[in-house]
């Protein structure tokens, strides 16, 4: 039995305008297709990665007490006017009008929509605190959309918003979100660093960014060489030593993947987001907002983990964990291979990719390395003749030959050692 055809497999041509590894590799490996500057179609492999990232994000947000909602991308201008951001947001806001000439925006973020939602729903302190989130497409008319999914004009974000009765409660949720974010990046298998991003302009401000260190990054992290202190470049401007220990500072480029903000009453005040408190007084919600760049994360994983042959996916977000490569027509028809595939599909449902294309072994090896599935099960005719296949670990290049029957068990163990 042959698999259904996959016309998106690989490009094999060096894209001319791709400057960073993730962009280049995603085009070559058939993950994305450019529609216009900063706008892409996600192809099957990319969609699988996105869904895995989303599942991990969702789980941690739910664990933290978040309630998932889905707000519209089309947002009426009056909402944006009520906070002054219709003017202030500037050219990054995609603006359009309906057939009655009423103005709308394509949402770059959802503070206005969510604050008006809660203003309508919540009347009493008894209904607070509440944390809502969504995973949704955002629109920003970036001056320089570039680096593929790293800076798009249409991209996927998880955005969460919290509503509390007091600063103290709001800050407790803020800290819970910091922990949730650490858990998310850990589970994704990414090394992210939390840095201080508080502009320090207004007292009580609080903001942290989560950064993936990468040479291709457009952000800069300033960190202390003697202690744990780190901040973004805006925060660290003008500093020549660590504010905690006076240690010396170093700079590194990074990519921002997450951002948590304490908002206070910035949106609830102008938008009349009020609740009545225990003392009967009407007060504005105390808010926070929390973003993670879901589609940007997919690119970051590649920036953080690739080599000259291609992507090297962490098990947690690999499009498939296992690829099976039958080499030659006899291998494809071999009862050993058929049994093996069945056993693998049973044990690792939806994680097995079979490359049964009628192509040279070298092409299949190249594509498997390019797409970066964590494990390759290579079924060559010579090994099969003695009932064996070869397993290759993409990350280390380690190979071993073993009897077909032992493969599922062995794969379990390897996946576990890779952090599955
Ligand atoms: N143009 C973009 N393309 C892809 N992801 C983006 C883009 N802009 C922001 N993000 C992601 O969304 C997260 C939350 O966005 P936010 O902090 O509002 O953006 P910014 O710091 O660019 O103002 C960011 O941490 C980043 O991961
Ligand atoms: Mg930000
Ligand atoms: Zn220090």
Under the banding of pLDDT at 50, 70 and 90, the label for residue 1 is very low
pLDDT of 35 reads 94
The terminus-to-terminus CA distance of the chain in angstroms comes to 30
Ligand 1 atom nearest residue 209's Cα = 25
Q: What single DSSP character describes residue 363?
A: H
Decide: 293 in ligand 1 pocket, CB within 6 A: yes
What CATH architecture does domain 21-306 belong to?
Answer: 2-Layer Sandwich (3.30)
Q: What percent of the chain has pLDDT over 90?
A: 91
pLDDT of 419 reads 86
Domain boundaries for CATH 3.40.50.800 within the chain: 320-417
**Residue from 136, 259, 290, 297 to probe ligand 1 pocket by mutation (most atoms less than 8 Å from CB):** 259
Query: Which ligand is closest to the CA of 293, given by its number?
Result: 1
Domain boundaries for CATH 3.30.930.10 within the chain: 21-306
User: Nearest residue CA, atom 14 of ligand 1?
Assistant: 291
Ligand 1 atom nearest residue 256's Cα = 25
207 Cα: distance to centroid of ligand 2 (angstroms): 9
Under the banding of pLDDT at 50, 70 and 90, the label for residue 326 is very high
Q: What digits encode the pLDDT tens for the residues 346-363? A: 999 999 999 988 899 999
pLDDT of 16 reads 74
Decide: 258 in ligand 1 pocket, CB within 6 A: yes
Q: What digits encode the pLDDT tens for the residues 170-193? A: 999 999 999 999 999 999 999 999
User: Nearest residue CA, atom 7 of ligand 1?
Assistant: 151
pLDDT of 205 reads 78
pLDDT of 4 reads 62
Q: Considering Cα of 119, then 120, then 121, then 124, what sign does the dihedral take?
A: positive
Res 250 pLDDT > 60: yes
Res 203 pLDDT > 60: no
Which residues, at least 6 apart from 104, have a Cβ–Cβ distance to it below 8 Å? 74, 75, 76, 77, 95, 96, 97, 98
279 Cα: distance to centroid of ligand 2 (angstroms): 36
359 Cα: distance to centroid of ligand 3 (angstroms): 56
Distance CA 407, CA 415 (A): 12
Q: What SS3 state is found at 106?
A: strand
Q: What digits encode the pLDDT tens for the residues 80-110? A: 999 999 999 999 999 999 999 999 999 999 9
Decide: 140 in ligand 1 pocket, CB within 6 A: yes
Mean pLDDT of the chain: 94
Distance CA 188, CA 420 (A): 10
Query: Which ligand is closest to the CA of 140, given by its number?
Result: 1
Q: What digits encode the pLDDT tens for the residues 224-247? A: 999 999 999 999 999 999 999 999
Ligand 1 atom nearest residue 153's Cα = 1
pLDDT of 392 reads 98
Query: Which ligand is closest to the CA of 223, given by its number?
Result: 3
Please state whether beta strands 130-139 and 67-68 pair in parallel, antiparallel, or not at all (unpaired): parallel
Instruction: List Cα–Cα distances, 19 to 22, 42, 369, in angstroms.
Output: 9, 19, 21
Residue 262 · residue 171 · CB < 8 Å: yes
258 Cα: distance to centroid of ligand 2 (angstroms): 7
CATH number attached to the domain at 320-417: 3.40.50.800
């Amino acid at each position: 039995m042959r698999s259904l055809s996959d016309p998106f497999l690989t490009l094999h041509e060096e894209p001319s305008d791709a400057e960073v590894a993730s962009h280049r590799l995603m085009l070559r490996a058939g993950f994305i297709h450019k529609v216009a500057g900063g706008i892409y179609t996600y192809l099957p492999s990319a969609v699988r990665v996105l869904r895995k990232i989303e599942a991990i994000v969702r789980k941690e947000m739910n664990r933290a007490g978040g309630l998932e909602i889905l707000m519209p991308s089309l947002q009426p201008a009056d909402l944006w006017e009520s906070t002054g951001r219709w003017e202030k947001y500037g050219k990054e806001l995609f603006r359009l009008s309906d057939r009655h000439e009423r103005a709308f925006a394509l949402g770059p973020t959802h503070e206005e929509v969510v604050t008006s939602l809660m203003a309508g729903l919540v009347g009493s302190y008894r209904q607070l605190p509440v944390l809502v989130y969504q995973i949704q497409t955002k629109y920003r008319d970036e001056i320089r959309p570039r680096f593929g999914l790293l800076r798009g004009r249409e991209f996927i974000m998880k955005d969460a918003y919290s509503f509390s009765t007091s600063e103290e409660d709001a800050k407790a949720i803020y800290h819970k979100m910091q922990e949730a974010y650490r858990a998310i990046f850990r589970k994704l298998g990414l090394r992210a660093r939390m840095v201080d991003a508080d502009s320090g302009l207004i007292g009580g401000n609080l903001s942290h960014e989560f950064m993936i260190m990468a040479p291709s990054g457009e952000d800069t992290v300033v960190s202390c060489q003697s202690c744990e202190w780190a901040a973004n470049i805006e925060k660290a401007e003008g500093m020549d030593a660590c504010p905690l220990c006076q240690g010396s500072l170093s700079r590194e480029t990074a990519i921002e993947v997450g951002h948590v903000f304490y908002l206070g009453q910035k949106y609830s005040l102008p938008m009349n987001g009020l609740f009545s408190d225990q003392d009967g007084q009407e007060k504005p919600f105390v808010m926070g907002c929390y973003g993670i760049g879901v589609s940007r994360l997919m690119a970051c994983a590649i920036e953080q983990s690739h080599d000259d042959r291609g992507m090297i996916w962490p098990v947690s977000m690999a499009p498939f964990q296992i690829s099976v490569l039958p080499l030659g027509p006899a291998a494809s028809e071999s009862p050993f291979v058929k049994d093996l595939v069945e056993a693998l599909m049973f044990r690792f449902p939806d994680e097995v990719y079979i490359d049964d294309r009628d192509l040279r072994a070298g092409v299949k090896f190249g594509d498997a390395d390019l797409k970066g599935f964590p494990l390759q099960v290579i079924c060559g005719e010579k090994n099969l003749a003695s009932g064996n296949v070869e397993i290759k670990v993409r990350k280390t290049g380690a190979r071993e030959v073993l009897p077909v029957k032992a493969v599922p068990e062995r794969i379990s163990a390897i996946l576990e050692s890779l952090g599955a």
